[in-house]
Amino acid sequence: MRDPKLELLQELAFARRQYDSDVRMGVSSAVGAVTKYVEALVDAGEADPQLLIPLINLDGALADAMRGISNEHIAVSKYEGGSKIPLHEAYAWGVASAVVSLHKEAGDDLATAVRRISVSRPHFESAKLKEYRKRISRGDRTVPPASLESYEDTLRIWKQADELTPRERASGALNAFQSLTKQKV
């Protein structure tokens, strides 16, 4: 007997592995897996067929993009100002800055705290990370909102872990950051 949930998880795991070598193919496979799962729910009478429309259109748009064909579903909107840093990158820089702050609270000096990030993730160069963190802590308006939110959320989440020492919180946050950024940001 088919287990649609198990199949979904297996296909998402495959899509995640694909994502490491071909981002667009991995994303397309993940959308395809979700679409297949919702189709199974529709077939079982557990979901409205209308739920499939945006998924099928997104899947088609991604296939078009891989073939070099533009599609309105994933067209880039007109730039309206603000930061041009992609959202996932702004998020990662905010988390990296928070990890540095947690390591400082655990007793590291700034250079050591920053080096902990840049050694394992060279994209986060020490000088850039120091400057970015300084801009976040000053509330610089040029920092994307996603960076500020991820910085504050990361600090809040790890500081709530009262049962951990500051060093354990800093190490845990660094490990979480490294898992989050396995793919180059």
* Residues 127-137: tens digit of each pLDDT: 999 999 999 98
Inside any domain, residue 11:
yes
Tokens of 75: 């067209």
Residues 69 and 99 occupy one common structural domain: no
Domain extent for 69:
4-74
In the predicted structure, residue 149 carries a pLDDT above the cut 70:
yes
Among the candidates 46, 74, 102, a domain finishes at: 74
In the predicted structure, residue 13 carries a pLDDT above the cut 80:
yes
DSSP class of residue 152 equals H
| Domain count for the chain | 2
Residues 51 and 21 occupy one common structural domain: yes
Residue 3 burial (CB count, 10 A) = 10
Inside any domain, residue 133:
yes
Residues 70 and 107 occupy one common structural domain: no
Inside any domain, residue 82:
no
Residues 63 and 119 occupy one common structural domain: no
Inside any domain, residue 79:
no
Residues 100 and 173 occupy one common structural domain: yes
For tokens 């800093």, what's the residue?
Answer: 170
- Residue in 100, 90, 123 with CA at minimum distance from that of residue 173: 100
For the entire predicted model, the pTM comes to 0.63
When pLDDT is cut at 50, 70 and 90, the band that residue 184 belongs to is very low
Convert the pLDDT of each residue in 32-69 to its tens digit: 999 999 999 999 999 999 999 999 999 999 888 888 88
